[in-house]
Amino acid sequence: MTDMDERFYKIGEVSEMLGIEQHTLRYLENNLKLKIKRDERSDRIYSESDIETLKLVLKLKEKGLNTTAIKLALENAEETEETGMATRTNNTDLVELVSVARKIVEQNEELLKQNKNMEKRMEKLEEKIERRNEEREKKVQEFLDLWKSEQGSKNKSWLSKLRGK
């Protein structure tokens, strides 16, 4: 819980690490209803904890449990993980933990707000750039047209016209 592990593995790597085929990984994901995250390309990305889970799954498979049973076992494991902390920590620790967690939540809320602000700013920036581009575009185009037409008709002093404008 202390480790915010940002390391993610792709299916090929996991397959290598655990010695099971990719299609088996996908099969397990479907059957056990594991929720493996995806990246922008919707490729699976496995977190360390996912891999721990998979290791457990493999052990249970070794023991001869079918996926239905493993599913239940995983639920239990999660529960005992949660409750396991209670048996090991006394109340004061727990209270402290909760308060720290609360702080994190606050911070996260702050971050969320900031992100939203940034998004808004981005939008404005996009608009601005868009407008500016169009303007420039227009000007250059105008100028070019003007000059072209000038060329086409006569060779009057386009420069003076420009000046006049």
Partner DNA sequence: CTGCACCTGACAACAAATTATCAAATGTAT
Partner DNA sequence: ATACATTTGATAATTTGTTGTCAGGTGCAG
Q: CB-based contacts of 56: which residues, under 8 Å, 6+ apart?
A: 73, 74, 77
The reply to whether 28 sits near DNA by the rule CB under 7 A is: yes
The reply to whether 150 sits near a copy of itself by the rule CB under 8 A is: yes
Cβ atoms of 32 and 74 within 8 Å: the answer is yes
Q: DSSP of 122-137, one letter per residue?
A: HHHHHHHHHHHHHHHH
The reply to whether 5 sits near a copy of itself by the rule CB under 8 A is: no
Q: Which does 13 bind (CB under 5 to 8 A by kind): DNA, a copy of itself, none?
A: DNA
- What is the chain's Cα-based Rg? 31
> Which residues contact a copy of itself (rule: CB under 8 A)?
1, 40, 63-66, 68-69, 72, 82-83, 85-86, 88-91, 93-98, 100-105, 107-112, 114-122, 125-126, 128-129, 132-133, 135-137, 139-144, 146-148, 150-151, 154-155, 158-159, 161-162
